[in-house]
Structure 1
Amino acid sequence: MTASAPSPYAKQARELQRQAVLTASPAALLVMLYDRLLADLARAHDHLAAGRRAEAGEQLSHAQEIIGALSTSLRPELWDGAENLQAIYTYVSSTLLRAGSTLDPALVAECTECLEPLRDAWAEAAAAGHGRG
């Protein structure tokens, strides 16, 4: 079977996505990161539930990268809540490592439950115009 040619719209879609990222407010960028993180976790959960370890590992690895980026972006000197958020990121990171080693989709679901309210809070902030610039 031969590989199919990319859609003529794929390049346009990538460019639109790139422009959305380049022009987004900091709060909107956080929402985009959380959206991707939650999508990775949903896929990892489904792969683990279906016994597809390699595919789950790829999703968990990418989720870990995003958690790392979110964690390193925290500025405790500028925000009192940063330490609490750091603790959540540390917990999620270690739980995702356990999920990958034990192949337990329930651990991924637990992480999703921790992160969804954070994503929603950032989405509200972005919609209210907070976090611009």
Structure 2
Amino acid sequence: MNDLAPAPAARAGVAQLRAAQQRYQADAVMSAAPERLLTMLYDRLLLDIERGEAAQRAGEWQEANAQLQHAQSIVAELTASLTDAWDGAAGLRGVYAFLTTTLVGANLGRDPERTRSCRDLVAPLREAWHAAAQQVAAANARPVSSAFPAQARA
């Protein structure tokens, strides 16, 4: 037997660890506040674009395709989450449409510069949504002293 091959028990342990990580991630998504879900999507979108660009520059076309297609799926989810009740929805929908078109073109054309332009567009949006989410979280936070009745503090 190859001394470098992991033992069956070790493989089972790794599989259990991966399953636990996946459960943890799913629970984190399911219990996240809406503003946190939005920032999580932007975080992953930026990561996918960066990974896609790196894979393109390395000539790893299958990996680039997988990353850029996942990025496109996230943009589709972001687009679907827009509500017309918000005044900025139409403008952001236009940004998402442009981003989708550019991601598709960058993927099909195997063009890391177009992918980089997507990154340059998404990065400041991500930062803006993170700042907005922090403001929402701060506004929703209750002071500790008001969480307890007056007699409990005395």
Q: TM-score, normalised by structure 2?
A: 0.77
Aligned to 1:127: 134
- Matching residue's letter, 1:88: V
Q: How much identity, in percent, do the aligned residues show?
A: 37
**What whole-Å deviation, never above 9, does each CA across 1:74-112 have from its counterpart, x for those lacking one?**
112x10100110111011100111101211111111111
Count of matched residue positions in the alignment of Structure 1 and Structure 2:
131
Partner residue, 1:13 = 21
Higher relative contact order (CA 8 A, sep 6+): 1
Q: What is the CA deviation profile of residues 43-98 of structure 1, one whole-angstrom value per residue up to 9, with x for unaligned ones?
A: 1001100111111111111111111111111112x101001101110111001111
Structure 1: 4+ residue segments shifted above 6 A: 1-4
**Which residues of 2 match residues 1-133 of structure 1 at below 5 A?**
5=11, 6-76=14-84, 78-129=85-136
- After TM superposition, the score normalised by the length of structure 1 is 0.88
RMSD of the TM alignment (CA)? 2.2
Given residue 46 of structure 1, which amino acid in structure 2 is its aligned partner? Answer: A
Q: Which residue identity lines up with residue 28 of structure 2 in the other structure?
A: A
Counting helix residues as a fraction of each chain, which structure ranks higher? 2
